[in-house]
């Protein structure tokens, strides 16, 4: 071990110094020049002596009863002493004087006795001035030829700065988590408070629009009622998306998993968006899988995912463009759903922004379209809750392809459940 060699070099250097002092008092003896062994040994030990004296880490040897046999200047500095000699004279019981928790020395000895060595043994210790610091010890036991324990030797590193950084990081993490929980609770409570009155507004607007209690006179009133209902439904969708997102972030959204026939899923979503695609003069093409594909998933949530992707594609594709949805099983057994459009597209560097909550890629096109920037965020979160991934490929002027990949373990061969017609 390097520590042992350094310590041996230190002892050897001290012995050489004593021999040199003794030799200064006697005459040179003929034949001394032919005795190079002592000089060679000294020269060999000098590099290790320098390493011992100048090492950045503390190096030590201690007895089993808690006394220092040897220490280098770095160890003395770590413990707040001016010299090694002062430290060796002051600390005579390591367990009682050094460790904040005296039981750490017993644990230190126990681990070495069990394993033969310890690495990164972290403890709080006292400096000479009473300040408390953190250290990490790496040590091994040294035994004689007969197996008798001679001493322990190892190194010490002051890790107080690292520990302080860890505390700050933990505090920042706890603060961020607390803020996130507060945000989630606030949004959930706010959404619950808004839904009842909003449903009432939508209901009354429908009554006026349908003239359930007789004609309302000027047709402008009916147009206003339709605008109120449309705006109310949009706001309700936003609130529902916020609620879903807060449930997912809080870990409270539970999936109701069932067997789903992908062909039926695609057909159900097509029926919902087909009229909007025609109104915008778009070609909507649905390409079901060649072979029956059944997956285990939450039918309501998966339908929400496909609807969001189709709606986004329709929303950002100019008249005359096309939207296509396809599905197939990949070679690794995973299920693939893809929605491709010939819309305005976006730059590759904008894709991460598009996946963030409440973020939208600003352009002259999307200024004409309302939205909160929650659709893709929620879609991604739902897919990841299923163990899958959402990937976007896009280029300005060429359109966007959104690909949903569900893992192979979600592909099953069970009878599918019928899908609800609601979006």
DSSP letter (8 states) at residue 66 = S
Question: What pLDDT is stored for residue 34 in this prediction?
Answer: 42
Global pTM? 0.54
- Confirm whether 419 is domain-assigned: no
- For 81-102, what is each residue's pLDDT tens digit? 999 999 999 999 999 999 999 8
What residue numbers bound the domain in which 407 lies? 258-412
Q: Do residues 234 and 205 both lie within one domain?
A: yes
| Nearest Cα residue to 257 out of 422, 423, 421, 406 | 406
**Least confident interval from 234-238, 267-271, 321-325, 364-368:** 364-368
Is the Cβ–Cβ distance between 402 and 343 less than 8 Å? no
Residue 308: CB atoms within 10 A of its CB come to 23
Supply 118's token pair: 């310890």
In a domain, 345, yes or no: yes
Domain boundary (249, 266, 281) is at 249
Residues 128 and 176 in one domain: no
State mean pLDDT over 305-311: 93
Strand positions, DSSP E, 34-105: 58-62, 68-71
In a domain, residue 422? The reply is no
Count up the domains in the chain and report the number: 3
DSSP for 362-412, written as a single string: --TTGGGS---S-HHHHHHHHHHHTT-EEEEEEETTTEEEEEEEE-GGGEE
230 assigned to some structural domain: yes
Domain identity same for 125 and 80: yes
Residues 312 and 362 reside in one and the same domain: yes
Nearest-angstrom CA–CA distance, 261 and 418: 8
User: Given a cut of 80, is residue 314 above it in pLDDT?
Assistant: yes
Backbone phi and psi for residue 83, each to the nearest 5 degrees, phi listed first: -135, 160
Task: State both tokens at 368.
Answer: 């004409």
Tokens for 339, please give them. Answer: 């929605």
292 contacts: CB under 8 Å, gap ≥ 6: 261, 263
- What are the distances in angstroms from CA 253 to CA 212, 221, 301? 39, 41, 10
């Amino acid at each position: 071990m390097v520590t042992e060699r350094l310590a041996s070099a230190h002892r050897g250097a001290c012995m050489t110094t004593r021999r040199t002092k003794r030799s200064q008092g006697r005459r040179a003896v003929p034949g001394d020049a032919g005795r190079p062994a002592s000089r060679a040994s000294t020269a060999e030990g000098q590099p290790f002596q320098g390493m011992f004296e100048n090492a950045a880490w503390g190096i030590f040897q201690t007895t089993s009863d808690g006394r220092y046999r040897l220490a280098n200047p770095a160890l003395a500095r770590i413990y707040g002493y001016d010299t090694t000699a002062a430290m060796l004279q002051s600390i005579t019981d390591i367990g009682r004087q050094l460790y904040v928790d005296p039981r750490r020395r017993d644990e230190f000895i126990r681990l070495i006795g069990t394993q033969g060595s310890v690495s990164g043994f972290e403890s709080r210790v006292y400096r000479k001035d009473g300040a408390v610091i953190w250290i990490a010890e790496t040590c091994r036991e040294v035994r004689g030829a007969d197996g008798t324990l001679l001493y322990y030797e190892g190194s010490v590193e002051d890790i107080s700065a690292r520990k302080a950084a860890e505390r700050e990081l933990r505090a920042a993490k706890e603060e961020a988590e607390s803020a996130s929980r507060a945000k989630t609770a606030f949004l959930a409570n706010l959404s619950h408070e808004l839904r009842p009155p909003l449903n009432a507004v939508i209901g009354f607007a429908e009554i006026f629009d349908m003239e359930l209690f007789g004609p309302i006179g000027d047709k402008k009133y009916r147009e206003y009622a339709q605008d109120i209902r449309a705006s109310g439904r949009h706001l309700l969708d936003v609130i529902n998306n916020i609620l879903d997102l807060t449930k997912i972030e809080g870990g409270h959204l539970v999936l109701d998993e069932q067997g789903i026939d992908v062909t039926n899923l695609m057909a159900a979503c097509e029926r919902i968006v087909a009229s909007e695609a025609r109104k915008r003069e778009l070609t909507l093409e649905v390409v079901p899988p060649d072979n029956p594909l059944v997956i285990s998933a939450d039918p309501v949530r998966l339908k929400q995912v496909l609807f969001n992707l189709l709606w986004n594609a329709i929303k950002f594709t100019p008249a005359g463009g096309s939207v296509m949805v396809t599905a197939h099983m990949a070679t690794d057994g995973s299920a693939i759903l893809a929605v491709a459009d010939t819309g305005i597209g976006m730059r590759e560097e904008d894709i991460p922004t598009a996946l963030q909550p409440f973020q939208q890629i600003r352009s002259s096109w999307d200024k004409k379209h309302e939205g909160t920037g929650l659709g893709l965020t929620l879609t991604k979160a739902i897919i990841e809750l299923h163990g899958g991934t959402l990937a976007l490929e896009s280029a300005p002027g060429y359109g966007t392809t959104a690909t949903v990949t569900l893992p192979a373990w979600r592909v099953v061969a069970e009878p599918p459940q019928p899908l609800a017609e609601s979006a």
